[in-house]
Chains A and B, each alone.
Chain A
């Protein structure tokens, strides 16, 4: 529920309740005052009868005035209690019954008790109350409407900076190097929020940049010692004759340094892609890249006795060539390495997609293998191959998919 809706609901409910209670109190107060007024009229009439009787020793003539009737009734010896009561008023002109107020009293004329019943129509009073009631209702309704509109207009404009900040927060992305701009507001809370968000974004960005820069710098700095080790190894093997034991050790060191280099290069590449530092786009002929990759892998394909099927259509795209090479290389070498003896490998390329599918045991969780340093059992890789593929695809807007059926794995890249 929106704050405005919630606020309006509470506001309206409270306003309506207060208005209703006020209305009821108002109604009863006015009603009471007006009834008192009528009662006074009735008493006045009674007094007139009393004074008439005292003067003339007889009952006055019964007359009918505007909205007032007097009825005398002989009582005999009976007494009657003086009281006011609500009754109906029978207007002689109009046939309908109206609400009325009556005073029952008694008078003694020549030893004879008479009951006096003075009745007065309350129509005017009721009309008055009705008008007052209508006005009250009108005030309530217009007040509500004005409240709602006012709330809407004022709150909307008041909350504008808040929504602007919120929108910027939603759009904020570290990867895209998002910026949160200043949102001026006359309201202290929003200014504070804005400042807090801006300083938070700056801090987060700073930390993120530092982390990225660290990864990149660390990988970068490692390259120099690795190249020294590499060159020293190359120099060492020139020096003398080696025993089998020594040459085995040297081979192991060579292998490890190579692995270290590859690992480091992959990490550096990942960091660079994530930092958006690789943008050198050029026109890449994917068909040529795929052909070259297959050529590079021909020995492995032959050794495993893999049947290679290729259907290569033309596809050119604007991309970083070395990244596309890495993408195809990684997918292809995975498809070969995880293949079995006399297996099958098919490479399909058209203008929309590249599909590399191979025979192979088992299946795996695609989400898992995309994680960094995830390695399948017995894999000799460094566990960054598919992560790199995914990053390369993401950075170029491609979609990397995996399907598995019938002991066949298929990786597809949709351009």
Chain B
């Protein structure tokens, strides 16, 4: 997939670019409003990761420009402002999702992947990964054509891992993804292990591979083969 990262903070822009580049993505960056506008006017992207507070302009105007010209690029807004009005304005203008800073790169990747998937596989909302077949609408998982029942959290975790395959996902990121940021995350580290244990068990029982590897006690890695 082809991604445009519009972010004025160099450190963050570089990290996102490094995280996205590689696997199956092409990444371009813009560091201010003008260059971002120039890029979206000429090129098409699967998803634009867009910061709202930019030098020389407001990110929302880029969303307006995209939608006003009938471009169907996916837009994910990342902003330090956690205000509902910004969020609603952004979504009203046609952005697909809104992520508040600070966030984990794995969360960003999972959101971007979801947006791209929704835009690419119109109508047929199935995700296939080796022997795993996921019907995203029905939230049903099949492993080697065997239906495997996952709990809500296990299902969400599995999708999260697949979106971040090949990457080490930290426990903090997993906890925040599963329980949200209003719950004290340190309390939940023990439960991550039990959820992962359950996923592994169910997958293996259905005849699938065990893709989830522990990563040095810091997190887990979904080994993409």
Which residues of A are in contact with B by a Cβ distance under 8 Å? 220, 223-224, 226-235, 237-238, 241-244, 246-248, 250-251, 254-255, 257-259, 261-262, 265, 268-269, 272, 277-278, 280, 295-297, 299-300, 303, 320, 322, 325-326, 329-330, 333, 337, 380-381
Contacts and interface: CB of A to CB of B under 8 A. Distances in A.
17 contacts: A220-B80, A220-B81, A224-B80, A234-B173, A238-B167, A242-B216, A251-B218, A255-B186, A258-B176, A261-B181, A262-B184, A262-B185, A265-B181, A280-B85, A295-B152, A299-B188, A325-B182
A280 B103 CA distance: 23
B12 A234 contact: no
A262 B175 CA distance: 13
Contact of B9 (A224, A251, A255, A272): A224
A380 B217 contact: no
A5 B184 CA distance: 62
Contacts of A265: 82, 181
Contacts of B125: none
B170 interface: yes
A243 B102 CA distance: 27
A193 to B, nearest CB: 41
Given A231-B102, A235-B18, A325-B182, 12 more contacts: A226-B101, A228-B15, A231-B15, A231-B19, A234-B170, A242-B218, A244-B216, A254-B218, A296-B179, A296-B180, A333-B184, A381-B184
Nearest to B152: A295
A137 B80 CA distance: 83
Determine the main DSSP class of A at the interface with B.
helix
B66 interface: no
A146 B108 CA distance: 84
B105 interface: yes
Contacts of A242: 216, 218
Contact of A380 (B80, B101, B186, B194): B186
B102 A230 contact: yes
Contacts of A235: 15, 18-19, 105
Nearest to B215: A237
A206 B207 CA distance: 68
A218 B88 CA distance: 24
B9 A228 contact: yes
Nearest to A382: B184
A220 B102 CA distance: 11
Given A238-B19, A248-B217, A254-B171, A231 B105 contact: yes
Interface string B205-225: 000000000011111000000
B110 interface: no
B181 A262 contact: yes
B104 A250 contact: no
B178 to A, nearest CB: 8
B183 A297 contact: yes
A223 to B, nearest CB: 4
Count chain B CB atoms within 10 A of each CB in A241, A248, A299, A337 and give the residue with the most: A299
Contacts of B19: 231, 234-235, 238
A237 B12 contact: no
Interface in B143-196: 152, 167-168, 170-173, 176, 179-188, 190-191, 194
Contacts of A380: 184, 186-187
Interface string B78-120: 0011111100100000000000011111100000000000000
Contacts of A261: 102, 181
Contacts of B194: 299
A227 B186 contact: no
A247 B221 CA distance: 14
Contacts of A325: 182
B11 interface: yes
Contacts of A280: 84-85, 88
Given A244-B217, A261-B102, A237 B168 contact: yes
A251 B18 contact: no
Top 10 closest A-B pairs, CB basis?
A227-B102, A231-B15, A228-B11, A247-B216, A299-B191, A280-B84, A234-B105, A223-B80, A227-B101, A230-B102
Nearest to A243: B216
B37 to A, nearest CB: 22
Contacts of A326: 182
A391 B84 CA distance: 18
B218 A247 contact: yes
A262 B113 CA distance: 26
Interface in B116-136: none
A266 to B, nearest CB: 9
A224 B167 CA distance: 23
A220 B12 CA distance: 16
Contacts of B16: 231
Count chain A CB atoms within 10 A of each CB in B9, B85, B183, B191 and give the residue with the most: B183
Contacts of A248: 217
A223 B216 CA distance: 28
Nearest to B180: A296
A181 B92 CA distance: 40
Contact of A230 (B103, B171, B186, B215): B103
A248 B218 CA distance: 8
A258 B11 contact: no
Nearest to B102: A227
Nearest to A251: B218
B172 A255 contact: yes
A252 to B, nearest CB: 10
A297 B182 CA distance: 12
Contacts of A320: 84
Contacts of A238: 19, 167-168
